[in-house]
Amino acid sequence: MGKGVLEVHLVDAKGLSGNDFLGKIDPYVIVQYRSQERKSSVARDQGRNPCWNEVFKFQINSAAANAQHKLILRIMDHDNFSSDDFLGEATIDVTDIVSLGAERGTYHLNAAKHNVVLADKTYQGEIKVGITFTATQVQEDGGAIGGWRHSSFNQ
């Protein structure tokens, strides 16, 4: 179904849950696509409304037409003297983005807000992310051409 690069633009979060024993929470996000994980920087002393403005790239190599593509954003609180605390997570189904990107060469979803689900399955806060999928075309000799398709006009 899709071969290419999934870019995730982690913008910010608002209204996160959690209080830290020593003051404000220091949130960061673990962005996961299948077995690939990326970690944002820690938004030190930004509390419940952190801003990251970071971009993460994931390689996608899925030939299955019925494959489900999910992006999981786990929001954590960085602690210096104990293990980091889970603040919540958001799951984004990117199957359509990958499909449309594979069809059109690229597909961009503007930054949108997604609900944050807490450990007890209730909602509190939101996280804002933008997503782009750029297909990689494979030439007959095996070399890759990024992001554009061959057409009769390019011959």
What phi, psi does 130 have (nearest 5°)? -115, 150
The CATH code belonging to domain 3-135 is: 2.60.40.150
- pLDDT lower than 50: segments of the chain: 139-155
pLDDT of residue 20: 58
Which pTM value belongs to this model? 0.84
The residues near 81 (Cβ < 8 Å, ≥ 6 apart) are none
d(CA 78, CA 145): 40
The predicted-structure confidence for 74-114, as pLDDT tens digits, reads as follows: 999 998 888 999 999 999 999 999 999 999 999 999 999 99
Query: Measuring CA to CA, how many Å separate 93 from each of 70, 138, 140, 148?
Result: 5, 26, 32, 24
Sketch the domain layout of the chain as residue ranges. 3-135
pLDDT of residue 18: 80
pLDDT of residue 81: 84
